Every structure is written in structure tokens, then in C-alpha cells.
Structure 1
Amino acid sequence: MVGGRHRQLPLSGLTVIDVSTLFAGPLAAGILGDFGADVIKVEHPKGDPLRSYGPMCDEFSLAWKVVNRNKKSILLDLHEPGDRDAFLRLSGHADVVIENFRPGTLEKWGLGADVLTAHNPRLVLTRVTAFGQDGPYADRPGFGTLAEAMSGLAAMSGEADGPPLLPAFPLGDAVAGLNAACAVLMALRARDRLGNGQVADVSITESLLGLLGFQIAAFDKTGARPVRQGNRSANSAPRNVYRCSDGTWVAVSASARSVAERVMRLIGRAELIDEPWFAAGRLRARHHEVDRAVAEWIAERDRPSVIAAFRAAQAAVAPVYEFSDVLADPHFTERGSVIEVPDEDIGSVRMPGPAFRLSGTPGRVLSAGPRPGQHAKEVLSALGADRVEPRVQELTGD
């Protein structure tokens, strides 16, 4: 926690070089940084594309400030021999390199897996791409949007009479980032046991396929195709968002039969419980009168009344929040779910804290995303002044 007492962190002493851009790779490196890894962000001298992405505050990208928190920035152009040499030397002292170039790009620069691992046999090289390092689509340019489309996610999202729906945020990248961080930790554990590093090949598309596994299995064995049905579920009912009389919204989920029964009693439709189809969630989902009954009951009441009634009935309900609600919520405030991080460019910025809690070695966020090349002298001079190429000396100010 910012300003909190220093504690030994679980990844303290681990050095990670993040030479990836935009989301999936940087998110993975950010997770490692939250828990103590020393993360060195390698940017092109023209600046990382995330620096000009999304909402800005005083000309600074807030996406950059959040995704690249806890990192040190250096500037290297890997097209240049001197900078490539500096990168090779840095990787020789690192535990992890995370990259997301199109397959073959590092090899073209003379920095392929064979070169990096020969230079540092204990290195874990984590490669994040849309389609993976091999296969017919490996050399295609790709982003999370393409993975969201090709995984089947978009086809099953949206209203029944509408088009396929893409997520409103980089979901594919976020899931791949989590998988990449997990892959790094598994590879490091294997290194502890076996002595050598390895290459982790993380595909954004396969990361999403992993989430949709039981849907794929269902299609394979039964031919069942997921259908677009908005916020409803094919496996349980009631499950939807519902508009209250004051214009606000709530979300209701009754995956368990016992919860569905409580909801029906609450809204005065207990007779539906005795229907033979009510016992199975997938059958309840086919009977739209369940959903309509809940919607009609909620529409006659304001949100505080709805939430109070559902909680009294021990039925699952939640308000549909705007970000203003998130920042004001007492539960999130007490747990420190959103923290305020100091920043020399914009004063401070609120952002989510570490995504999970460790009782003995909790994560922390000490700084928002750095300025371009802010830590070049600190990082690169550690290689030794006599071993730094002229261009790197220029970047470090020596």
C-alpha cells in the first residue's frame, strides 16, 4: 500500500524487462511489479504508443500511468546495434523478458530466443501475441479485438436481434496478461527445480478460448451453439439487469435453485416454484415469464428498496455502478480496492490496487507510470561505464 510500512515482497530480487507495448504484456509485467519485481520498461525513443492512448490529464495518458506503475523507464531503439547490445546485456542480468512483437521480429534483430537464452540460460522469455509463435496465423498482425472475434466470444455476446458484440474494454488483453503473469511464475518455479529458464508462448486468442472451454465442449458433444441473448443466461434464471423506478439499475443472479425460489417468493410468484421446469436452471432460462416477473416487480420500486428487500430475502443482488459509485463505495474504500498513487506529472491518480491479497507479503504500488527514459542512467550505468555504447551514454546523460 502506498505510504505503508515496507515489507519484504514475494518477488523482491526478481528483475523483469518489459519490452512489450499497449496492454497484455505490460499488464503481466505490472502484476509482477505490484509484488516486488524490479520491472524495467524498455521504450522506443519515439515513445510507447500507450503514452498517447485513452483519456489524458495535462497531456499525460492515464492508461500509461496505471498500466506501467511501479516500473523504471529506459529508451532503446532495438534497430540500432548499440541499443541491441545494451538490451542483450540487460537481459543477461534479468530473470524475465516480456515481449509482444510479431513472431520473428526479435530474431530479425539478432535477439531471438536462442541468442537470449544462450546469453542467459536462466532467462524466462515470455512472448505474448494474438495467435501464438507458430501455426498458419502466427505472422498475422493482431490485437485483442481480433482474438475476441475469433475465439467465439463476440458471436455469443449482444442482444438476440443485434450484431455480435465486442467488449467495451481490452478484455482479451487483460485475460492474456493474467495468463502471461501466471506463465512467468510457473516457468520460474520450474527454473528453481530444474535450473534453466524457458520460453512461454502466450496467445491472446487461446487465453479467451480457455475461458470458453465448457461452451466448446458442449458444441463438440451436443452441437449446442451459444446464442446471443443480451444479459440473460442460458443456464439460469433470473439473471439480468433490471431498471428500477428511479431510473437506476440492479443486477440479479439466481444460479442456485434455492436463491431462485427466494426471489420468486419475494416478488409474489411462489406458484412458479412448483412448475416441473423450475428445478433446473437451464429450463428456467427458457421460460421468460420468470425474467418478466422479476423485471415488473423491480420496475415498481426504487433501487434502495429493491436492494433492501433482496438482502432481507438473502437473494443475490447488486447495484449497477458508475465509476463515481465505485469510488464512493464504503466496502471498496475500507479494503483499499482503489488507491491514490503520487505522481510527479499530475500530482496523484487513483487506480485499482493489487488485484489479490497475500496475508504475509501483500503487494504495493509506489509510483505511477514513469516519464520517458526517466531511469536510464540508473539502469544502464549499472552495466559499467566502460561497457556502455555511445548511444546509451547519450541516453543516460553521461
Structure 2
Amino acid sequence: MMVLEGVRALDLSMFLSGPRASQILADFGAEVIKIEPPGGETMRLWMKMIPDQADSMTHWHRSKKGLSLDIRKPEGAALLKKLLASADVLIENLAPGALDKCGLGYNDLKAEFPRLVYCSISGFGKNSPLSHRVAFDIIAQATGGIMSANRTESRSPGVFFGDLVSGAYAAMGVMMALMWRAKTGQGQLVDISMQDVMYFHNFRAMQNRMHEDANKIKDALGGSFEDIFTADDGLPFWRPYQARDGYVAVVFLTDRQWLDMCDLMERPDLKADPRFSNFVSRIKNRDAVKEEVKAWMESKTSAEIETALDSKRIPCGRVLDSRQVNQDENLKARGMLAEVEAEGRTIPLPGNPIRLSASPAEIRGRAPEVGEHNRELLNRLLGLSDAEIEELKKKGVI
């Protein structure tokens, strides 16, 4: 038995945020029905245009069933409502107001389906000045302050944290709402703003809210938080250093770790140097610390550096590129380099990072094709005959 077995979720979302939420539910046993237009969702169409990327849909839609349904048609919207009678969860991330136009917004459904957990993911959430705006990952990272905090204001984000982390929070919200329903019998709206999620993770913004006078920080540490954490001349004990064959990230925050670094660098004279006597002094004299560590690391291989640092239990790790991380032995041992077989081919995909000892996640199949399970679902859940299903297909409803 899987932990979410018996939970049925209708997933109307597309692109990344909603699919990530329902993927997490599916990995833990929920029956997730991916509902998309008869012609296929935009992400699917885009991926088919890029060589070798069509199977990437399985990254976010594995273990789901596929139903094609045009909810813009009255008959399609009516079918969705019938499906909701036996559903526990609805997930959507469509343009603000799109489902309201179909009579499928939360306020349209809550009275008829009081036990429904309705999860809505948007750029700026409900009932806010920017609720009307359509948003994508880059908009969330920009308006949540993440791009500025990372000093990448002029570049697009390399990883879609705005989408994917918001999807994970949506899944968390859905599961909490299901627990609430188990206690009260009542469903509710799970309202996820991608900007909220990015701001929630913006540690730099939190630091800046804690002080009114930025000069106090500069005087105490020799620079602003932005200077210290993200500038090229930032913290010497929280950064990557170049080795002969790549980069190694290292963290030596404590006095004990600094003394161990002095031993590794064969520089015992630095232990008594007043410039490096404590955490704050090492920040103020960060350029000098960095030059010492740089000189030690640049002559060694990544493996030599890792072995030396690990011997002193100093946190470290090689900076892996996408090819290297896809061959990482630790990820392999953790089951993160997963695969699924599909029609004679093997699709590589990430495993689930949530490890439950008694009720683990399970990848139960590839992403469904558009409407792959139309007949099964409409027959099993709504009792429609083959003839009725064919008529819906002729009308373009499915």
C-alpha cells in the first residue's frame, strides 16, 4: 500500500509548476489524471519539436493517466464536473481567470463540491494587486528578488526554481489540506503564489529587513551582505575554488575548521595571525584568506582536495556540470538516477528525493500520451459507453 493510495487528483495544469505538484502526489500513490486539450498541452508540443526531448514529459508526468478534454466547450466543462464528484483534488496553474470563464473556478465549485481540495498556482496569488498577471518562472524569480540576490539581473535563471519549488509547496499544501479534510470533512483552496515562494526563500531580503542602517553591516564586516556572499571577492570560507581540473566548493566557518585548513595548507604561522583570529576578522580580511586557500588549491586536482578536506571533516564538494552530475555515484546510490522502460526504450529521469522508510515513492510508468486513457477513465469513472465516447471524440470534446 502506498501512502496516497485512494487519493484521486485531476491535474489541469501545464508547463512545470502544477505538473511538479501532481508528480509528487503520483510518486506516492495518488491516482493523478492529467487533463489536457485534445491537441495536447503547449509544453508537450514544444518538447516534440526539440530533438530527443519528447520523453522529457516523463520527468513531470510519470505515473499519471492521460485524459484529453476541451473544458472550454460546455460539454467538456460538464464532464469535468462529473469527474469531480469522485475526485479529491484539482490542480491548476492556468492563466488567471481562465477557469472562471468556464464556470470552473474555486468559487464556482466549492458549494457543489465541499470536500474538494482545489490547488491554484499563479504568479502572484489570489486577491493581490497583481493577481491578474500571467507569470512564468523568470517572472517569479525576478519579482521575488532572487535574480538580484544572485546578481544575475541581466541573465535568465539557469534552473526553474520559481516553477519547481512552487510545485513542491503546492503538493505540501494539498497534503495539509487533505489532513484538514480528514479532521473536518471540509475541502479548501490551496493558493500558491510563485512570487511568495521565491520571497520565502530569499535569505538576502530577510537579512536586509533586519537592519535599517546598511553602513553598520559594512563597518562591522567590511562590506554589505551582497558584497560578502555573492561578489567575486566575497566570503573566502564559503565559495568554490579552482583546482587543476575544475572547481571545488568548500565551507570552513568555525575556528576549528580554520585551524585545520592551516594544517592542510602547511601554514601553521597563519593560526596565530591576528587578521584571522575569529569569524569576523576573517571576513574583514577575506582577500588575504582567499589568496592563501587559492594558492593551495590551484596546484591540486579536485580529488586530492576533496580527500584532504574530507580527512578533516571540512564540508566540500566538486562543482559538477550536467554531464558529471548525471554520472554521480552518490546520486546513483540514492536512487536518483532513475529510469523507466517504455515501448522498448529506456527513459532516464530523476528519482524522488523524499525518502520514506515505510511507504517509499514509486515510479509506475512513463508520461501518458494525449488522451491515452480516455476510454478507460470515461468508462470506469463516468460509466460512458464506447458509442458515447466516440460521439464525444467526433465533437472535439475529447
Partner SS state of residue 31, structure 1: helix
In the TM superposition, residue 274 of structure 1 has moved relative to its aligned partner by 3.7
**Residue number in structure 2 paired with 1:65:** 58
Paired residue for 1:267, among 245, 248, 265?
Answer: 265
CA apart distance, 1:248: 1.9
Deviations 1:209-245 (A, max 9, x none): 1112563253343344642678669995412222212
Matching residue of 2:248: 250
Compare 329-338 and 226-235 and name the one that shifted more: 226-235
Partners of 1:390 and 1:24 in 2: CA distance = 33
Q: Say whether the 8 Å CA contact 1:243–1:295 is kept in structure 2.
A: yes
Q: Could you tell me whether the CA contact under 8 Å between 1:342 and 1:348 is conserved in 2?
A: yes
Q: Quote how far apart the aligned CAs of 1:52 are.
A: 3.5
Instruction: Tell me how far 1:284 sits from its aligned partner.
Output: 2.6
The correspondence for 2:39, drawn from 37, 41, 46, is 46
C-alpha distance after superposition, 1:278-308 (max 9, x if no partner): 4654553342221222122111112222122
* Pairing of 1:1-398 with structure 2 (within 5 A): 8-53=1-46, 60-158=53-151, 163-213=153-203, 215-224=205-214, 226-227=225-226, 237-245=236-244, 247-275=245-273, 278=276, 281=279, 283-286=281-284, 287-344=286-343, 347-382=345-380, 383-385=382-384, 392=392, 394=394
Greater displacement, 45-54 / 278-287: 278-287
> Aligned pair in 2 of structure 1 residues 280, 164: CA closer, same or farther (>3 Å)?
farther
Q: Structure 1 residues 269, 381: CA separation in 2 closer, same or farther (over 3 Å shift)?
A: same
CA distance in 2, matches of 1:108, 1:182: 28
Could you tell me the TM-score, scaled by structure 2's length? 0.88
Distance 2:141 2:71 in 1: 30
- Alignment partners' CA distance in 1, 2:36 and 2:293: 52
RMSD: 2.8
Q: What do the CA deviations read for 1:136-174 (whole angstroms, capped 9, x no partner)?
A: 11101111101111111111213xxx7555430211111
The Cα offsets for residues 28-78 of structure 1, whole Å up to 9 and x where unpaired, read as 100011000000001112211221345878665243121111111111111
Residue pair 2:145, 2:205 contacting (<8 A) in 1 also? no
Partners of 1:230 and 1:106 in 2: CA distance: 43
**Does the CA contact (< 8 Å) of 1:103 and 1:139 recur in 2?**
yes
The verdict on how the C-alpha distance between 1:198 and 1:329 changes in structure 2, with shifts beyond 3 A counting, is same
In the alignment, structure 1 segments of 5+ residues that lack a partner are 1-7
Give the letter for the 2:37 counterpart. H
Matching residue's letter, 2:358: G
Report the secondary structure of 1:128's partner residue. Answer: strand
Secondary structure at 1:290 match in 2: helix
Compute the displacement of 1:19 (Å). Answer: 0.4
Question: CA-to-partner distance for each residue in 1:308-356, whole Å, 9 max, x for gaps?
Answer: 2112222222112233333333322222121111123x71111111111
Query: How many angstroms does 1:79 deviate by?
Result: 1.0
**Contact in 2 for aligned 1:231/1:241 (Cα 8 Å):** no
Distance across 2 between alignment mates of 1:279 and 1:92: 67
| Cα distance change of structure 1 residues 212 and 46 upon mapping to structure 2, 3 Å threshold | same
Q: Is the 8 A contact 1:339 1:350 kept in 2?
A: yes
**Worse overlay, 132-141 or 224-233:** 224-233
| One-letter amino acid matched to 1:371 | E
Give the secondary structure class of the aligned counterpart of 2:226.
Answer: coil
Q: What is the CA–CA distance in structure 1 between the aligned matches of 2:207 and 2:51, rounded to whole Å? A: 49
In the aligned structure 2, how far is the partner of 1:92 from the partner of 1:379?
14
